[in-house]
Amino acid sequence: MITYEQQIAVRLEQVINRMTNICQQQQRSSPMLLAVSKTRAADEVRTLLNAGVKNFGENYLQEALDKQQQLTDSNICWHFIGPIQSNKTRPIAEHFDWVHSIDRIKLASRLSKQRPPTLHPLQVCLQINIDNETSKSGFSVQEAVDAAINISQLPQLQLRGLMCIPEKRHHSPDQQQPFANLAILMATINQRLPKNIPPLDTLSMGMSNDMEAAITEGATIVRIGTALFGPRQ
């Protein structure tokens, strides 16, 4: 009977092969693989860590903090990718390396003030509501440039790029359009940023069902959950 560790190794190989194939087609380097570990146990995270994955994304703060306590001996880079409540910014600022889901300037300001000065600057992305869905949070495309200029100048943060969760589409050409729009938006922001601010270099986009479309349009981080861990119980 195949063990869970063997299942993880097979799934990881499949995901890496998918990434490698599309990167070869596009003649580009491979994006960061961010394993989305929400609702997964610490032992599952450790299994994938032992298989070579170093970046893990969490959506729920208390669950993430509990997991971090169980994995203090591990050299994991922790990314917060879920919605942020204003009263939860301090532990996020103190316990994560990246935040992908900044959707308000107020949140960025709180994270900046609460990031311990002993830690390296928190790496952050603006969440963009790329399809203008009323059910999703995020800056609109129209708001994004001014928001990026403001947030890029906050201390203890380094604005790295943009993140989006597009409306579900089932065919690759349709899936590519919102990702292409996000890449265009990042280029526009880079043209407008003050000269003393490093240009944005990160597009956090693409999940298990649309990673090829995202990589085609320039994703530098893909957020993969089910394809790595298997279906949730």
At 75, list the tokens. 């050299």
Q: What is the pLDDT of residues 162-183, one digit of tens each?
A: 999 999 998 878 899 999 999 9
Task: Say how many Å lie between the first and final Cα of the chain, rounded.
Answer: 20
For residue range 120-157, list pLDDT tens digits in order: 999 999 999 999 999 999 999 999 999 999 999 999 99
**Residue 172 confidence (pLDDT):** 78
Low-confidence ranges of the chain (pLDDT < 70): 233
Distance CA 64, CA 43 (A): 13
- The answer to whether the CB of 41 falls within 8 A of the CB of 61 is no
Distance (Å, whole) CA 8 – CA 22:
21
| 8-state DSSP, 140 | -
pLDDT score, position 144: 98
* Residue 175 near residue 169 (C-beta atoms within 8 A): yes
The pLDDT value given to residue 86: 94
Give pTM, 2 decimals.
0.97
What backbone torsions phi and psi does residue 95 show, to the nearest 5 degrees?
-120, 5
Kindly list the structural domains of the chain, giving each domain's residue range(s) and its CATH number in brackets, ordered by start. Answer: 4-228 (3.20.20.10)
In this structure, the number of other CB atoms found within 10 A of the CB of residue 200 comes to 20
Rounded Cα distance between 23 and 215, Å, is 7
